[in-house]
Amino acid sequence: MNMRRTKVDFDMVREVGLTLPDVETSSIHEALALKVHGKLLACAAIHRSAEPNTLAVRIDVDRRAELVAAEPRVYYVTDHYVNYPTVLVRLREIDRDAITDLLGMAWRFVTSKTKPRTRKAQNSRS
């Protein structure tokens, strides 16, 4: 059985994303979004430069470069997104396991940016 044929859509992205700690559904510019502690994790890519049925996922730019180089059919970036820590994902080209891994990477990226500030804030109050 070819798991790649399982259709990945925004509903599946939401279902997978909500299995991660503290992730909630939200919206950004009236598009589906997933956030953790109020920080964007992933959203429907709505800028006109993105292809239809594309997900924008927050990820380190070095990791983005690796993904795009390894699987340009699945991952890409446009000029609009190049200065943001974001990779674009063609949902028709990705399977559930890969989207699960990618959202996990995004979750670690987003939460790693919020944890140090929390620790510093707590330390400054001591």
Predicted confidence (pLDDT) per residue in 7-57, tens digit: 899 999 999 999 999 999 999 888 889 999 999 999 999 999 999 999 999
Output DSSP code: residue 46.
Answer: -
Cα separation, 68 vs 16, in Å, equals: 22
Give strand pairing partners of 23. Answer: 36
**In the chain, where are the structural domains located?**
3-115
Write down the architecture of domain 3-115 according to CATH. Alpha-Beta Complex (3.90)
Per-residue pLDDT reduced to its tens digit, 56-93: 999 999 999 999 999 999 999 999 999 999 999 999 99
How far is residue 13 from each of residues 69, 118, 123, 124, 125, measured CA to CA in Å?
Answer: 23, 28, 36, 38, 38
pTM: 0.84
